[in-house]
Structure 1
Amino acid sequence: MATEESRTVQEAYPMMGGDGLYSYAKNSTQQRKATDSAKEPIKKAIAEKLGKEILQSSKTFRIADLGCSVGPNTFFAAQNILEAVESKYKSEGLNSQIPDFQVFFSDHTSNDFNLLFTSLPQDRRYYVAGVPGSFHGRLFPKNSLHFVHSSYAIHWLSRAPKEVVNKNSPAWNKGRIHYSNSGDEVVLAYKAQYDKDVQQFLQARAQEIVYGGLMVLIVPGIPNGTHHSQSLPSMNLELLGSCLMDLARKGMVSEEKVDSFNLPIYNMSPQELEAAVERNGCFSVEGVEYLPLVVPNVSGESKINGQVLASHLRAAMEGIIKQHFGEEILDLIFDSYRKKIEENSSIFNFGKAVHFFIILKRISENQLS
């Protein structure tokens, strides 16, 4: 019988590897802009929140990027963090005590680590290690990390809720691949899976991060109080689902195959994530900031470019779709999505979304109020 860990690994679908037309490396400019926008907030968080006792006791400063994918965004994030920590040492008058830096790049075992390592910056000032595995469980020894970073990753669940593909469940999500415009039972099933996964994530990090260490999460989510049917990310995935149903109606895939496919994604609000942190009790929320929301296109901000959006989505979704439906329909699905997103570009005017940045600090029991 499969263990929970092996099931999680089996259901892992990393971003598109390689350096081809639809690779994540070439189709992650939106994520890069979020990394750039977070540079100054990260510098400020380290300057104000990272304790001097950590600086004085650390001969090697350890940084982990969870959900690193294949680069290059993860390298920019690592460099931003390293520079901010060095500035902190200098501001504290500890120039002679600046430590070695070790950066752990972590993602699922099926991530394209070959591309990641071959594209490492030649002038990097840190030691590198790859750590394969799911961040929904432990990845590192206890009290070994000083700073954890994760961008555009924790909205991915460890799995889609089992109930939504069960014909005998009230939460059966027939004809849909996500919870947008689904019944309350489907939404509650996704919310329950998110609650479970985020607690596992936080509990694992609580064991790995030293007291006083920091964790920064960059999250594509929805504004506080937004109903899921008004969520731009959900509307976007609903369009993708409609492309699959169109193929089912044409007999190119079976409708049962679509019914058994649900994306393991939950777009949380800042309020939901803060509540999860409070329930966990091992971290304090040191700040929440909103980052600029950017829709990728190539010809200016006034017109949506469907091909760019389709390529971005394909870089993230090709693996999970290919695994379930096969590769024969990939071009058809994403070409259909390109047309639909151009026809329905108005969703970017009324769909609601936020990209937010949350700073967490590992606290000891005697710091709990």
Structure 2
Amino acid sequence: MEIPISTTLITPVILSGGSGTRLWPLSRSKRPKQLLALTGSETMLQMTAGRCVDGGRFGKPIIVTNAAHADDIGAQLTASGQAPAAIITEPAGRNTAPAIALAAIEAQPDAALLVMPSDHVIRDVPAFHAAIEHALPLVAEGWLVTFGITPDAPETGYGYIQRGEAIANGVHRVAAFVEKPDRARAEEYLARGDYSWNGGIFLFRADAYLAALERHAPAMAEAARASMAGASRDGVVVTPERETFLGSPSESIDYAIMEKDDRVAVVPVEMGWSDVGSWDALHGLGDDDGAGNVIHGDVVAIDTSHCLIRGEGVVVTTVGVKDLIVVATRDAVMILPRGSSQEVKRVVEQLKARAHITLDTPFPVD
């Protein structure tokens, strides 16, 4: 049974600034993966916001993004009944710590901010809500809380969090944040059992975060406050003043705050999480056809097994193949072996070198 979250009203803060090129050719810089429906009928952004739709638990979300995506974000969230409290458009990318600072300044000082990337999957939402419930008492006391994903493989593509002593029910002090490890260290972390993946999800009061920013990154705090003081507003769209924001250092929340503060806690949680960071990850999330294929669109697969095949506005046919990723849009086709989807970055680099239009232009749709 789902554990009820306390009466504290939580403000979701959704970070939606990524370009999502690891899922090219479907994801483009002007229409990144968070704006696409990859694992269901809703987009990744709509699914993220949908985990926090309950008037007794959560307030309206604050979205931090870039100006190019603001209209799409507003339209998608309004269409799904998740109209945001604010869409803050960053004048320039300065990593997660300044982006969160903008949202914290916009929110009420005593608001509990649930900070989430816009493009992750969480299959067990009740487990996520239960983890939030475990964190809230410490959040009320001014702690900065992160959520540690229970690892199920020695992944080298994620940072890790080492858990220290238990300080409350289901909550531990953070012993260390660890960079992405090599394979041997990742296997050691998995075997030890006191490490979690760092999923980049946080919960803290707005005033506690800003106070920590003043302690550890005062120049960043000053730039964020000045930029928001000079912001222009058009409905829910908030445009911080550009020049003062450009004066902010560029740093992640982990480097700027979480690794330095002495009141940082982690809630370990197993909730069916994925960052959908590659086509291989998307294959693992999909429902197969009985032959190990995950298929989307108008696809004919004959004597085909263990493939991800996706057609967007085109017919895709395969015969006698296995262990492939095949993605076709109306203006691009990509084929590579399963297990090699990180090689998409090499494709993107080549296209960048050629200034190719398919990197930036959304694929044609009806």
Scaled to the shorter chain, the TM-score interval is: 0.3 to 0.5
Per the normalisation by structure 1, the TM-score is: 0.34
Scaled by the length of structure 2, what TM-score is found?
0.34
More helix as a share of residues: 1
Q: Which has the higher strand share?
A: 2
